[in-house]
Structure 1
Amino acid sequence: MIFYSKFSIAKAILLLLASFVLALFLATESAQAFNDTSLPNVQLAEVYDKQNVQDYLISEKYDGVRAIWKDRTLQSRSGNIIHAPTWFTEGLPDVWLDGELWYRRGDFEYVVSTVNKDIPVNSEWKNITYMVFDAPNYNADFQSRATFYTSLIQSLHLAHVKAVDQFSLTTNAELSAYLKNYVAEGAEGLMLQKADAKFADGRSSNLLKLKPYMDAEARVLAHLEGKGKYRDKVGAILVLYSNASGSKITFKIGSGFSDEERANPPPIGSVVTFKYHGFTKRGVPRFASYLRMYKPS
């Protein structure tokens, strides 16, 4: 009898534990499902690779923070709420918009600092412009969407909301010339959107980016001591990079740093963005140069 009571108690405890674990699993799954559905639908760009430029509409690539306006909410592409001042969003239409929060060429850090604050600072947001480059829907091609958003944004008469200009070119040689001119004036690069393509979530060749260089992210493994004028400062950083095939590669980045950044380099374990021009035969990014600390939007 005593044995039976102990067995019953143990069984009851096991059943309670099993029920708790199941409830926890279901709650986690439910939360994950909620988070997944709350992510905004966004188009992501592939790299331009000599596609026929006549098939695309072209615009400047603005170096800012991606911002999706939908259901009266401004979100980053990763689904984080962007806490803009009320005056910044109250005049926006009840239409799904996609664009970039931008200040001016070469001031990416200012934009990130401004839009990442939970409590917006009006004086900082006064310098921010919402550069709208799409009004997504699943039925119209981009040519039609570009015409629509341009007319819509112009009708708002809001100084801080602008429609991104789209233009056409006929040859890839013209595209190279335009890129050179835009970059010379401080632009980051160009974007190409396939004119007859309908909106589609994720990355595809319907949307392309063209820069004078490529950029990527890598994790800092070590600081390497400098020599000569960089004595007592960092001469280079050793980083770990994952290439497109998933292979892990370590290499040094020794250029692109200011004197201040050499004195106070990116911390070990942090992620940095670097630029490069193609790859060596070993798959190492060629002519890698430090750009900035990586700041996900």
Structure 2
Amino acid sequence: MSRTFRILTRTCAGLLPLSLMSLPVLAATVATNQPAAVSAKPPVMLANNYEAGVVLANYWVSEKLDGVRAYWDGEHLMTRGGYPIQAPEWFIAHFPNQPMDGELWIDRGRFAEVSGIIRQEQPDDGLWMKVKFMAYDLPGFPGNFNRRDQALGEVIAMINQPWVQHVEQQRVNNESELATWLGNVEHRGGEGLMLKRGDSLYHAKRSDDMLKYKRHEDAEATVIGYLPGKGRLKGQLGALIVRNETGQEFRLGSGLSDAERMSPPPVGSVVTYRFDGKTSSGLPRFARFLRIRPDYTPE
């Protein structure tokens, strides 16, 4: 399925389409093969950003994997946004009849590849052989994360398949050790670190029970329109107009490749943007486009 998009610009009357006669290059076609969402999003735990001063002795730490978050509800595999993942039967054949939370992952820096694989309506066995399900929580198991992680290790051992792995959790003694670990992960092309409070229960909300630690902050926003390019970018996309989960609207002009400017994320899609802190009004500072997230829906 495909559709033709129109470049939008903001005026006092709102978002209005520009004439395609004046922007012939932008009458491009955008693929929209995202599967229909299931009836409800899975009840996943969400992370806040790490800030100095956290009592690290209370947390387990693991690498933040650059993959697609996947939730197994005991019968079906789906994305965080509730989109069904058409995995091969052999891939999920030994999954348990209880929920698992994890990441579909290939390797550092290969998000786009795994994202493309999991969006196929007809799974390709050869491509899926590269994918691992990296499990990091057992949502339905009673007890805190200390107990859930131990139980998860036992579940993974019973599954006994090389493409299903238990994400290793470790302790750190201080912020210096944490920063060193982050530097090592980044040097190897990794994204960052995740911290989980050992005595926390699994609950479907954003809280300090789970923290993400990265050199740069990132978040998701929904594309609501486009602004045309000027100068070198005349005839192409100049910026995305997006709305984040708190309802704030802003532009994402940097970070877009030439190909993305010619065929931008469709209106209604979710993208990840990177930023460096926030302004006094709460807007992301130096926000720039990072990638489209076909596995997400707006919160």
Check whether TM > 0.5: yes
Number of the residue aligned with 2:292 = 293
CA contact (8 A) 1:224 1:238 kept: no
Structure 1: unaligned runs, 5 residues or longer: 1-33
Corresponding residue for 1:171? 174
Distance 1:285 1:71, change over 3 A: closer
Q: Equivalents in 1 of 2:140, 2:262: separation in Å?
A: 49
- Distance in 2 (CA, whole Å) between partners of 1:68 and 1:265 is 28
1:135-159 CA deviation, whole Å, 9 max, x = no partner?
Answer: 2235222112212222431343311
Q: CA RMSD in A?
A: 2.6
What residue is the counterpart of 2:112 in the other structure?
Answer: 109
**Structure 1 or 2: larger helix share?**
1
- Give the aligned partner of residue 250 of structure 1: 250
Report what 1:281 is aligned to.
280
What SS is found at the alignment partner of 2:196?
A: strand
Question: Partners in 1 of 2:64 and 2:266 — Cα distance?
Answer: 29
| Displacement after TM superposition at 1:204 (Å) | 2.0
Q: Which residue of 1 aligns with 2:223?
A: 219
CA contact (8 A) 1:234 1:265 kept: no
Alignment of 1:39-118 (within 5 A): 39-50=41-52, 51-118=54-121
Residues 143-189 of structure 1 show CA distances to partners (whole Å, capped at 9, x for unaligned) of 12212222431343311111101000111222122112212211121
Does the CA contact (< 8 Å) of 1:220 and 1:266 recur in 2? no
Helix, strand or coil at the partner of 2:139: coil
Between the aligned partners of 1:65 and 1:290, the Cα distance in structure 2 is 18
2:229 touches 2:235 (CA, 8 Å); kept in 1?
yes
**Given that residues 225 and 235 in structure 1 are in contact (C-alpha distance below 8 angstroms), is that contact kept between their aligned partners in structure 2?**
yes
Deviation at 1:238, TM superposition (A): 4.7
Letter in 1 for 2:144: D
SS of the equivalent of 1:239 reads: strand
- Larger radius of gyration, structure 1 or 2? 1
- 1:29 corresponding residue in structure 2: none
CA distance in 1, matches of 2:80, 2:176: 33
Higher relative contact order (CA 8 A, sep 6+): 2
Contact 1:273 1:292 in 2 (8 A): yes
Q: How far is the alpha carbon of 1:226 from its aligned partner?
A: 4.2
TM-score (norm 1): 0.76
Match of 1:236 in 2: 238
Q: What is the distance in 1 between the residues matched to 2:265 and 2:78?
A: 28
Q: Aligned to 1:125, which of 106, 123, 128?
A: 128
- Equivalent residues of 2:45, 2:206 under 8 A apart: yes
Equivalenced residue count is 257
TM-score, scaled to structure 2: 0.76
Q: Secondary structure at the match of 1:113?
A: helix
Post-superposition shift, 1:270? 5.2
The SS at the match of 2:51 is coil
The 8 Å contact of residues 141 and 195 in structure 1, kept in 2 or not, is answered as yes
Q: Conserved in 2, the CA contact under 8 Å of 1:243 and 1:249?
A: no
8 Å CA contact 2:269, 2:294 repeated in 1: no
Match of 1:20 in 2: none
Counterpart of 1:17 in structure 2 is: none
The separation in 2 between residues aligned to 1:215 and 1:72, in whole angstroms, is 32
Following TM superposition, by how much is the alpha carbon of 1:106 offset from its aligned partner in structure 2, in angstroms?
A: 1.4
Q: CA deviation at 1:267?
A: 4.9
Greater mean deviation of Cα atoms: 178-187 or 211-220: 211-220
Shift of the alpha carbon at 1:231?
4.8
Q: Mean alpha-carbon deviation: is it higher for 100-109 or for 216-225? A: 216-225
User: Identity of aligned pairs, percent?
Assistant: 34
